[in-house]
Structure 1
């Protein structure tokens, strides 16, 4: 990436892993609308294709397949490591192997993809955007392995930013609750989503486009001096529970 400080990634090749739905589709759409050439990859094609985005199938947990995928691309300017996720599962409800697969998808796969793309990113003086989570910075009951993986992802990104400088910038989006097509599975229907939204200082869940806009910024030359950073995209965070539990200053 040059030093012209042009904020839009026009003409650049952007790879978004897991960019077929939800947050990933929002990120892919944001880059496409900004003028980038966008390629998404996942095991299965999108049910609803994103306009202007090319899909290529790949299992991100297969290092050989990941290396072949990147080798087939003529260039890579931006890698967005978005693929991940986990079902709600308490620690004692599954064996260690199943929890390890969550860590593999959310931590090992981004490392695999970043290493596979490194030489192309170095040549283009590009950037990596990790899609992290607030679960990596606070207790995550019901998704402990996921939270641990996201904490590791943030640490990985900061170390990567030092090792790969100055040719490649690496940053993390620390994402809070997002209203995707699967939000009802996490929060319930519209009433549940409305109740959860009231716990966010900005009064709503993020839209995938909110995360996409932040990703475009971190990958652009407007962020040319930002590396090793964690950008919070969480609507102001979470209101501390003790504020609602305290009895002082409450009306009788």
Structure 2
């Protein structure tokens, strides 16, 4: 899984999961370029940051055109605030879809020629929200479902030159976890719902991304790799247990 001499681009690689991915690629020997609108508060050692508004297609094309070589692209930029569907208009939800679906498509198209020359790979950072109901983040879940399907189609269209895979990521503990899961007690309670007993660390996602980008995954394309600690314990199991105990 060494990436010595390879050039990897990680979109949104300045904090949280993105920073963990960038760090993992750098530790694997890759030359790592991260891009986002704002610079990182805590730069990742061994990476270079370039400011790019990923929602601006022209800026994205200029950014990739300036890179002499790209061996791996990790489409990590994304996210969404908690927002019930009826609490916002369609235009606001559309911006969530734009960031989480159209931005990875724009970046992939902009990097296509360099990736083709290098025989490179694309890793999409998907989410379990794309395969289950996501109340409060419905537009995000819909976008992630679309992203996984986009990756499968892209893998067929761009084979054999470029491999394209998706990491379907579950709950990750980052510097923003408290916004989603509450304080340490809340995080501990949520962790108990995961079969492996903890939330993922950004390094867990980073290691999986390095694998998919490396020669160890040379025959893997169009695949979705679950990185979710075993998923979520079905609620009906706890209800059934409670009824039996009663």
Task: Give the TM-score band, short-chain normalised.
Answer: over 0.9
After TM superposition, give the deviation of residue 247 of structure 1 in Å: 4.8
**1: CA distance, partners of 2:163 / 2:171:** 26
Counterparts of 1:1-252 in structure 2, within 5 Å, are 7-247=1-241, 250-251=244-245
**2: CA distance, partners of 1:145 / 1:80:** 21
Give the ranges of 4+ consecutive aligned residues of structure 1 lying more than 4 Å apart after TM superposition. none
**1: CA distance, partners of 2:51 / 2:20:** 19
After TM superposition, give the deviation of residue 249 of structure 1 in Å: 7.8
Aligned-pair RMSD on alpha carbons? 0.9
Q: Deviations over 1:24-65 (max 9, x none)?
A: 000000000111000000000001000011000001110000
Against the structure 1 CA distance between its residues 192 and 163, is the aligned structure 2 distance closer, same or farther, given a 3 Å change threshold? same
**2: CA distance, partners of 1:46 / 1:95:** 31
**2: CA distance, partners of 1:145 / 1:190:** 28
After TM superposition, give the deviation of residue 251 of structure 1 in Å: 3.6
Name 1:4's counterpart in structure 2: none
After TM superposition, give the deviation of residue 250 of structure 1 in Å: 3.3
After TM superposition, give the deviation of residue 11 of structure 1 in Å: 1.0
Query: If the length of structure 1 is used for normalisation, what is the TM-score?
Result: 0.96
Q: Deviations over 1:84-143 (max 9, x none)?
A: 000000001111000000000000000000000000000000000000000000000000
After TM superposition, give the deviation of residue 169 of structure 1 in Å: 0.1
**2: CA distance, partners of 1:31 / 1:111:** 22
Q: Deviations over 1:183-238 (max 9, x none)?
A: 00100010000000000000000000000000000000000000000000000000
SS in 1 for 2:244: coil
Number of positions where the alignment pairs a residue of Structure 1 with one of Structure 2: 246
**2: CA distance, partners of 1:145 / 1:122:** 32
Query: If the length of structure 2 is used for normalisation, what is the TM-score?
Result: 0.99
SS in 2 for 1:15: strand
**2: CA distance, partners of 1:118 / 1:162:** 14
